Amino acid sequence: MAQQAVMGGGVSSARVWNNKEARSVILQILTIVLLFAFLAFIISNVNANLAAIGKTFSFDFLFLPASYDISQTLIPYNSRSTHLRAAVVGLLNTLLVAGCGIVLATILGFTMGILRLSSNWLVNRMAYCFIEMTRNVPLLLHILLIHGIFVTSLPRPKQAINMGDAFFLSNRGFFLPSPQFGPAFWAVFIAFLVAMTFAIGFNRYARKVQNETGKHYPVFWICLGAIIGLPLTVYFLAGMPLSWEIPELSGFNYQGGMVLRPEFVALWLALSYYHASFIAEIVRGGIIAVSHGQMEAACALGLKPNRTLSLIIIPQALRVIVPPLASQYMNLTKNSSLAIAIGYMDIVATIGGISLMQTGKEMETMIIVLLTYLVISLSIAAFMNWYNDRTKLVER
């Protein structure tokens, strides 16, 4: 009887294992158990090593004074601010250069990608040479080159290039007037939001009319007129509630106004044109993937080349362009961490650099930096996946 029970148990276990759904659940449970066991081992090992050298794992240092200055800040900050505020300043600087880089890289990439397909031999070869030269040189060298050009070739502040007594260009940065908003400026801002809402709604309406009747509205000019005209009208009616603070030379540098630091400009330009060279090849490949018969059909209907490109070719090419484009956006954001090489104070240079050295909290600061880039990358991926779902072909 015992032998029969053992044999029956073995057959039952084999039957459960051979069941596809049951085997899938068992493997998932085992995977989760092994993962948590590995994490527990890592955490235990870290705690033991920290205790051995007299350290504790905590984030209390974030609320201590940072005791260092940051040259470029988007929010108020001084050396007595906390490490947490320094981390926020570094995060905002990272988001600023990454956001500006993504916008400029997209514009340059699409432009160069289209130029690579130009029938003009000279334009085609120039775009090809620039792309191949750029993407076959390490990004760090591009950053150092642009930064070196700005620092060594531009004059000192006292000999700065003067443009209309309002804009000044020197090796300390590009100084320009900063806006000072009056109490009634909120009306101008609301007018801008209304104009943007109208532009989006009119664009959808014009597209619907074109799909149904073939009638084409000058969408660009109408939307541009609304976005510029309505806020400008409200601005004058509200008594021009906007003034400008002009930078002035004081001592060895300019005071007042806004400034674009050489470190920011160098990092922004280098990231933009470097990743634009990869985006250009992605765009070229996406356009080539569209059947040539689409272009011939558009020509037969009498569409101009620019209208054919914007209405027929690019919308179909986006289904090929968007997935690798998301990877380039994430790469650009992560490569912004090279800012530390030229002294641009991003999240790596602040919390992952100076704060780390001052507090000795290697684990805590690196966890913050890693989670920051993880969240940013996942956010970009989520947005691009949503946009990819909107542009993909709808199958019947």
Mean pLDDT over 237-249 rounds to 84
pLDDT at 12: 66
pLDDT at residue number 374: 93
Query: Per-residue pLDDT averaged across 231-254, rounded?
Result: 84
CA 290 to chain centre: 28
Residue 183, Cβ neighbours under 10 Å: how many?
A: 9
- CA geometry: angle 73, 74, 79, nearest 5 deg: 35
For residue 10, the model assigns a pLDDT of 57
Q: How far is CA 122 from CA 116, 119, 158, 247, 277, in A?
A: 10, 9, 42, 43, 18
| CA angle, residues 333, 390, 386, in degrees to nearest 5 | 40
Eight-state DSSP code of residue 167:
E
Q: How are beta strands 178-181 and 242-245 bridged, if at all?
A: antiparallel
How high is the pLDDT of residue 153? 87
Quick check: 263 and 114 in contact, CB under 8 A?
Answer: no
One-letter amino acid for residue 364 of the chain: E
The pLDDT, as a whole number, for residue 297 is: 81
Predicted confidence at residue 128, as pLDDT, reads: 92
Higher pLDDT, 19 or 95: 95
Give the model's confidence band at 92: pLDDT under 50 very low, under 70 low, under 90 confident, else very high.
very high
> Is residue 270 pLDDT above 90, yes or no?
yes
Q: What is the mean pLDDT of the chain?
A: 86
pLDDT the model gives residue 172: 85
Mean of pLDDT values over 209-231:
84
Q: CA–CA distance from 134 to each of 52, 115, 143, 231, 329 (Å)? A: 48, 16, 12, 41, 17
Q: Give the residue ranges of DSSP H helices in the chain.
A: 2-18, 20-52, 83-115, 121-135, 139-153, 185-213, 219-237, 262-289, 292-300, 305-308, 314-335, 347-349, 355-359, 362-391
Task: Tell me: pLDDT of 5 over 80.
Answer: no
Q: Residue 257 pLDDT more than 90?
A: no
Average pLDDT estimate for 380-394 = 82
Strand-pair partners of 250: 253
Task: Give yes or no for a contact between 267 and 275, defined as CB atoms under 8 angstroms apart.
Answer: no
> For residues 87 and 368, is the Cβ–Cβ distance under 8 A?
yes
Q: With a cut of 80, say whether residue 8 has pLDDT above it.
A: no
Beta-carbon neighbour count of residue 134 at 10 Å? 19
What integer pLDDT is reported at residue 140 of this predicted model? 93
Residue 295 has pLDDT above 80, yes or no: no
What tokens appear for 271 in the block? 């990231």
Long-range contacts of 151-158 (CB under 8 A, 24+ apart): 151/262, 154/262, 157/249, 157/252, 157/253, 157/254, 158/249, 158/252
Q: Which amino acid is at 95?
A: L
Contact 272, 105 (CB under 8 A): yes
Question: In this predicted model, which residue has the larger pLDDT, 343 or 2?
Answer: 343
Q: What integer pLDDT is reported at residue 380 of this predicted model?
A: 94
> How far from 297 is each of 4, 142, 217, 320, CA to CA, in Å?
76, 43, 22, 21
Which tens digit of pLDDT belongs to each residue from 301-312?
777 777 777 778
**Top-confidence range, 68-77, 105-114, 115-124, 159-168:** 105-114
245: left (phi over 0), alpha (psi -120 to 50) or beta: beta
Question: Within 10 A of 155 (CB to CB), how many other CB atoms are there?
Answer: 12
Of 27 and 282, the one with more pLDDT: 282
Residue with more model confidence, 207 or 271: 271
- The whole-angstrom separation of Cα 371 and Cα 361 is 16
Question: Of all residues in the chain, what percent are helix, strand and coil, respectively (each to 5)?
Answer: 70, 10, 20
Amino acid at 244: W
Q: Are 278 and 135 in contact (CB under 8 A)?
A: yes
pLDDT tens-digit series, residues 178-203: 888 888 888 888 999 999 999 999 88
pLDDT digits (tens, 9 = 90+) for 63-87: 989 888 888 888 888 888 999 999 9
d(C-alpha 168, C-alpha 177), whole Å: 10
pLDDT at 130 exceeding the cut of 90: yes
Which pair of structure tokens corresponds to residue 43?
A: 């955490």
CA gap 91, 150 in Å, rounded:
25
Given a cut of 80, is residue 275 above it in pLDDT? yes
Predicted confidence at residue 15, as pLDDT, reads 73
Give me the residue label for tokens 């101008």: 188
Task: For residues 232 and 296, give the distance between their C-alpha atoms in angstroms, rounded to a whole number.
Answer: 44
